[in-house]
C-alpha cells in the first residue's frame, strides 16, 4: 500500500474520451475515463483542473514531478496546459466530465474538443483523493449566512453551475451568467432561494450584459460606499487578475466573479467603490484577457 506521505495534492491522470455531448451551440461536454480516476477527488464547487492538449510523439510527464517534467520539454514538444472545471466526478465509474466553451477553431483546447471522439487520449492534472490534506484549486469560500452573488461569462458558466448544484437548500442569492446566445442557457439545479439568470449577449459587446445586470442587481440595495469599504485597489489590467480572500469577511453578501479580466475588474471596482461591499468578501478571477484568449 502506498503511504499517504508519498501522495501529493495533485497528480496526473491518463484518460481517454468515453463520450462527447453537445450541450448547446457554445458548450461541449467531454466525458473522460481512466483506470485510476477512482482516485480523482470529488471536491465539487469550482474545483480547477489542468488538461494537457496532446502533442504527437510527446508523453505528458506523470508522477509528483509532472510540472518540472513538463517545463523541461522543448517548446515544440510541450503540450499546452489549459485550466478547466471538474464539472462532474463519478469516481465509482472512473469518469469525470469537462465542459468546453467553443469559440471556433481558435485555440489548442478548442481545436482538440471540436475533434474529440471516443478513444482520444487526454492527460488531466487533478486532485488526488489519497492526499489527506486540502488540495487547493477551489476559490468559492463563502462565509456562513451570506447571500451569494455569482457572476461570470461563458468561461465561468461550468464553475457557476457546479457551485449551484452543491449549495445547501437554504442558500440565497443571485447567479448571473452572460453567454453568447439564447440557446446557451443550460438547465441547472439551484436552491429555491437562488435565482439563476442567463444573459444572452447576441451582438452586444462582451461583458456588457453582465456589467449591466450586476450594477442593477437588487441583492445589494442597502449597501453604500463607506470608509470601512474603501476604494478598489485592484492591480492594473496588465497584471494577473486573481484575488481570493483566505478568510472572507462576514458581510451580508459574498461575491464570486469570474470571466474576461477587464469586465471582472470593472465589476469588482463597482462592488467595492460604488456599492460599499468589503473587498474581503469578493473572490474575483480573470479567467482570460480579451486579445489573449487561451481556449
If 0-12 CB within 10 Å is exposed, 13-18 middle and 19+ buried, where does residue 245 land?
Answer: middle
| Alpha-carbon distance values, 146 to 246, 251, 280 (Å) | 16, 6, 13
Strand ordering across the sheet containing 194-200: 194-200, 173-179, 147-152, 253-260, 282-288, 242-243
Reported as a pLDDT band with limits 50, 70 and 90, residue 289 is confident
Domain boundaries, the chain: 4-127, 147-288
Least confident of 85-99, 137-151, 216-230: 216-230
What confidence category does residue 224 fall into, taking pLDDT thresholds of 50, 70 and 90? low
In degrees and rounded to multiples of 5, residue 191 shows phi and psi of -60, 155
Contact between residue 272 and residue 253 where contact means Cβ atoms under 8 Å apart: no
**Helix residue spans in 176-269 (DSSP H):** 208-215, 261-269
Q: Is the pTM of this model over 0.85?
A: yes
For 4-127, the fitting CATH number among 2.40.160.40, 2.40.30.10, 3.90.1330.10, 2.60.40.3080 is: 2.40.30.10
Summarize the confidence of residues 23-39 as an average pLDDT: 98
What's the pLDDT score for residue 225? 46
Q: ∠ CA(128), CA(134), CA(136), 5° rounding? A: 80
pLDDT above 70 for 206: yes
**CATH code for the structural domain at 147-288:** 3.40.50.80
Amino acid at each position: 500500500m502506498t503511504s499517504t506521505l508519498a501522495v501529493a495534492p495533485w497528480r496526473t491522470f491518463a484518460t481517454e474520451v468515453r463520450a462527447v455531448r453537445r450541450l448547446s451551440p457554445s458548450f461541449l461536454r467531454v466525458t473522460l475515463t481512466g483506470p485510476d480516476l477512482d482516485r480523482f477527488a470529488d471536491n465539487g464547487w469550482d474545483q480547477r483542473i489542468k488538461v494537457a492538449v496532446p502533442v504527437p510523439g510527446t508523453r505528458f510527464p506523470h508522477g509528483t514531478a509532472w510540472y518540472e517534467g513538463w517545463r523541461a520539454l522543448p517548446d515544440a514538444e510541450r503540450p499546452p496546459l489549459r485550466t478547466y472545471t471538474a464539472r462532474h466526478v463519478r469516481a465509482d465509474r472512473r469518469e469525470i466530465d469537462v465542459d468546453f466553451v467553443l469559440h471556433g477553431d481558435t485555440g489548442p483546447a478548442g481545436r482538440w474538443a471540436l475533434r474529440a471522439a471516443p478513444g482520444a487520449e487526454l492527460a488531466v492534472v487533478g486532485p488526488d483523493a489519497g492526499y489527506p490534506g486540502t488540495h487547493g484549486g477551489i476559490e468559492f469560500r463563502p462565509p456562513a449566512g451570506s447571500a451569494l452573488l455569482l457572476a461570470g461569462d461563458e468561461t465561468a458558466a461550468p464553475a457557476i453551475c457546479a457551485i449551484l448544484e452543491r449549495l445547501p437548500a437554504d442558500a440565497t442569492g443571485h447567479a448571473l451568467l452572460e453567454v453568447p446566445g439564447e440557446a446557451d442557457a443550460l438547465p441547472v439545479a439551484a436552491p429555491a432561494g437562488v435565482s439563476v439568470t442567463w444573459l444572452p449577449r447576441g451582438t452586444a459587446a462582451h461583458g456588457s450584459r453582465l456589467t449591466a445586470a450586476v450594477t442593477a442587481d437588487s441583492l445589494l440595495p442597502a449597501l453604500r460606499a463607506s470608509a470601512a469599504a474603501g476604494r478598489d485597489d485592484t492591480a492594473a489590467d496588465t497584471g494577473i487578475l486573481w484575488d481570493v480572500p483566505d478568510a472572507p469577511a462576514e458581510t451580508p453578501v459574498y461575491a464570486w466573479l469570474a470571466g474576461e479580466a477587464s469586465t471582472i475588474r470593472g465589476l469588482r471596482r463597482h462592488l467595492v467603490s460604488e456599492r460599499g461591499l468589503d473587498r474581503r468578501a469578493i473572490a474575483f478571477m480573470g479567467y482570460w484577457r480579451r486579445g489573449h484568449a487561451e481556449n
